[in-house]
């Protein structure tokens, strides 16, 4: 299948993460170009060349991964004179039970997880035209509450709702918005210490498997997919 990604330009935030790198690689393999937001600590990893020579540019963020959407948009437009979409990673949240989280910790999580992601999405969406595509990478907390993940359970569910609202708002402009919900990293455990088994296939997906799904969802081949939360085998309802 031709995904129609040749010469299209995408921003990938959270580029220091394995899943985001894999998605960037898959986009490049399909002929796209990427602006990869990457933390300074990963400078020696040469992330741009890791993704694919002239098909990627690296924008160094702050130590905490902070970078403005305007800077990323400018990198895309200055380099390739176009922008077609973005894959936006969401910051991780504090692990704790609901009654253990202090008010200031809730506030900090809302700022660093929810508002930062919303700001990135809004900033990038303003620079997209017809055919644009945005995808937000969430954790399984977005759809299924996990043990000792009270903050993520609340904040990421809110982000999922925001993405679906935005899909309705941007739909008339032919701009799509979706969410991707990948399986937790291998070795993730529940609050009681037991391995977290949330996959219907009873195995963890590879980063490349996630990357291929991300590339498809962002591509014109998925032109009628919008407002969806796409599970990359992260949870089957009713699975024990």
Task: Return the pLDDT at 239.
Answer: 33
Give the model confidence (pLDDT) of 11-49 as tens digits. 999 755 788 888 999 999 999 999 998 876 655 454 555
Considering the domain 9-232 in this protein, what is its CATH number? Answer: 3.40.50.720
Residue 189: which pLDDT band, with cuts at 50, 70 and 90?
Answer: very low
The domains of the chain are located at: 9-232
More confident residue, 235 or 156: 156
Average pLDDT, the chain: 81
Contact 31, 53 (CB under 8 A): no
Residue 151: which pLDDT band, with cuts at 50, 70 and 90?
Answer: confident
Measured between alpha carbons, how far is 199 from 236 in angstroms, rounded to an integer? 7
More confident residue, 54 or 189: 54
DSSP letter (8 states) at residue 140: G
Measured between alpha carbons, how far is 158 from 153 in angstroms, rounded to an integer? 9
Q: Average pLDDT in the 64-69 region?
A: 80
Closest CA to 164 of 240, 225, 217, 103: 225
Phi, then psi, of 11 in degrees rounded to 5 = -90, 135
Give the model confidence (pLDDT) of 87-137 as tens digits. 998 876 667 777 777 888 888 888 888 899 999 999 999 999 999 999 999
Closest CA to 73 of 137, 119, 138: 119
Query: What is the b/e burial string over 165-192, where b = at least 16 CB atoms within 10 angstroms of the residue's CB?
Result: ebbeebeeeebbbbbbbbbbeeeeeeee
Query: How many CA within 13 A on the CB side of residue 114?
Result: 19
Stated pTM of the model = 0.84
Longest dimension (CA), the chain: 51
More confident residue, 11 or 191: 11
Collapsed DSSP state (helix, strand, coil) of residue 145 = coil
Task: Return the pLDDT at 27.
Answer: 96
Q: Average pLDDT in the 80-88 region?
A: 97
What contacts 30, CB < 8 A, 6 or more positions away? 3, 5, 6, 215, 219
Measured between alpha carbons, how far is 55 from 40 in angstroms, rounded to an integer? 20
Contact 230, 238 (CB under 8 A): no
């Amino acid at each position: 299948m031709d995904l129609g990604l040749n010469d299209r330009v995408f921003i990938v935030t959270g580029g220091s993460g394995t899943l985001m790198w894999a998605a960037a690689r898959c986009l490049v393999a399909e002929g796209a170009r990427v602006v990869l937001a990457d933390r300074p600590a990963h400078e020696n990893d040469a992330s741009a060349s890791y993704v694919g020579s002239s098909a990627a540019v690296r924008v160094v963020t702050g130590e905490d991964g902070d970078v403005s959407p305007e800077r990323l948009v400018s990198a895309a437009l200055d380099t390739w004179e176009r922008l077609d979409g973005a894959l936006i990673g969401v910051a991780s949240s504090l692990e704790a039970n609901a009654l253990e989280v202090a008010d200031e910790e809730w506030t900090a999580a809302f700022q660093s997880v929810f508002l930062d992601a919303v700001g990135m999405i809004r900033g990038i969406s303003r620079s997209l035209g017809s055919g644009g595509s945005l995808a937000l990478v969430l954790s399984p907390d977005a759809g299924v509450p996990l043990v000792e993940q009270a903050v993520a359970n609340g904040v990421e569910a809110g982000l999922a709702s925001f993405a679906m609202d935005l899909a309705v708002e941007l739909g008339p402009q032919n701009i799509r918005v979706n969410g991707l919900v990948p399986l937790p990293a291998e070795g993730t455990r529940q609050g009681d210490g037991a391995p977290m088994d949330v996959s219907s296939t009873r195995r963890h997906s590879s980063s490349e498997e996630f990357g291929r799904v991300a590339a498809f969802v962002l591509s014109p081949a998925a032109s009628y997919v919008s407002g969806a939360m796409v599970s990359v085998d992260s949870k089957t309802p009713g699975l024990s």
